[in-house]
Amino acid sequence: MTKSPMQSVVAELEGSILKDPDPYCYFLLVAFEASGLFRFAVLLMLWPVIRLLEMMGMGDAGLKLMIFVAIAGVRESEIKSVARAVLPKFYMDDIDMEAWKVFSFYDKRVVVTKTPRIIVERFVKDHLRADKVVGSELVVNRFGFATGFVNDDIRPLSDRVAKLFVDEPPCLGLARPNSSFLSLCKEQMQPPFTASQKYNQQVLRPLPVIFHDGRLVKRPTPSTAFLILLWMPLGILLAIIRIVMGMVLPIRAIPYMSRLFGSKVIVKGKPPPPASGANKGVLFVCTHRTLMDPVVLSTVLGRKIPAVTYSISRFSEILSPIPTVRLTRIREVDAEKIKRELSIGDLAVCPEGTTCREPFLLRFSGLFAELTDRIVPVAMNYRVGFFHATTARGWKGLDPIFFFMNPRPVYEVTFLNQLPAEATCSSGKSPHDVANYVQRILAATLGFECTNFTRKDKYRVLAGNDGVVSYTSFLDQIKKVVTNFKPFIH
């Protein structure tokens, strides 16, 4: 069946396109990521009050209370940053795919939400391919800070939707029964949705979330948020113990001691023996999941493997139990540094140049392929329960701390065979071809997807910059910490 020109649909976001009709957990995310733990805790404590207001038929008052507590005093730019970098991942995980099949079938797509437009618009337009978002507008003062209030549009919601369809009413409305705009639509569908064969014939997928930021792994429902708050003090203590243990103990003892504190490393494949005699060092080419990749590699091998770094913080370098080799991003200088290290012994490199959380591999730089034929691909992956160990918007010095704050962090290390000579540059292959080949075999091992995205692409999406870090004084680093944990400011 083919579509007629410009068929249109109006869909409610909460409770229709998204399974969860309650936006409370998303406001918890905004509070945590835009302000910090204190505001997150305050909003969580107000959850019974918000629920009581809803039970009394004062749902709008409960919603306004959520909005005020979550964003009052927060810069508008920071709210936009969270909406761009953090929320899409959690929204994507909550999509009702049957509703999406229907929604994506139509040409003109409008989404109606009770959440402030600025919070959902990036996800709805970029990933759901919607044309318009109808929602409330935040009040922002002349200094760029959100007041916590919204502009109350005196027009009924149905009138605001009708204004978008002057010539012809929308063909279909997707919403719960009490949604006022349903009466404007020629046809109506209400949850639970079951897409008919008509919609199954031409199904688009939502644009995937490849890059995302933020520290929380799970969507903070009230029970999950409560567990996170309870775990925080113990998690910080556990992180300190684990980090000190890694700095003090011999590297061969770390795998045994780490098991006592809940960490686990799963090793697959056979690692090569250490360099000896006339054999130059092996270059371990790893996928880049967290800052801990080369550290875990060293603990598995039982020897300290120097790691090539691009722009990790000085604090992370101080904590690192293995040597680090800082690159300059000047190709000739970096090539000499890597050659020098390989003449001494083994070396670890992550040619993606930055981490990626989702099951995708970023484009591999071909520099490593030019410098040696002794290449051992290593597939690295990890699992954590509460906190992500990477960030693009926050201070990277906290990455190892957040990793070790997880109750039971798990790393998987898979050693592939050393590349045969015919797969390296010595056989006449270009560095680009070798890099692409290594990317493909590592992606196949992990069940990931190869992409052409780069470090710059990631940082442009998540942080609005090219990811170039200028190293500042210790005082400036302290200021970054204060900015990252700014719950007491607002």
Sequence-distant (6+) residues with CB within 8 A of 473 are none
Task: State the chain's maximal CA–CA distance in angstroms.
Answer: 81
Q: What is the pLDDT of residue 63?
A: 94
Q: What is the pLDDT of residue 481?
A: 38
Please give the share of the chain, as a percent, with pLDDT higher than 70: 91
Q: Is residue 396 scored above 70 in pLDDT?
A: yes
Q: Cα-flanking dihedrals φ and ψ of residue 354, to 5°? A: -165, 165
Using alpha carbons only, how large is the chain's radius of gyration in Å? 25
For the whole model, what pTM was predicted? 0.88
Please give the share of the chain, as a percent, with pLDDT higher than 90: 67
What is the residue whose two structure tokens read 């990036």?
Answer: 122
Q: Where in the chain is the domain with CATH 3.40.50.1000?
A: 8-193
Instruction: Write out pLDDT tens, residues 45-93.
Output: 999 999 999 999 887 899 999 999 999 999 999 999 999 999 999 999 9
CA 215 to chain CA centroid, Å, is 8
Band the pLDDT of 487: cuts 50, 70, 90.
Answer: very low
Strand runs (DSSP E) across 276-336, as ranges? 283-286, 307-309, 324-326
Instruction: Write out pLDDT tens, residues 398-440.
Output: 898 999 999 999 999 999 999 999 999 999 999 999 999 999 9
CB 337 within 8 A of CB 330: no
| CATH 3.40.50.1000 holds for 8-193 | yes
Q: What is the pLDDT of residue 131?
A: 94
Sequence-distant (6+) residues with CB within 8 A of 366 are 351, 430, 431, 432, 434, 435
Band the pLDDT of 153: cuts 50, 70, 90.
Answer: low
Q: What is the pLDDT of residue 263?
A: 92
Average pLDDT over residues 2-26: 87
Q: Which of 193, 170, 261, 212 is nearest to 85 (CA)?
A: 212
Retrieve residue 391's tokens: 């960030």
CB 12 within 8 A of CB 174: yes
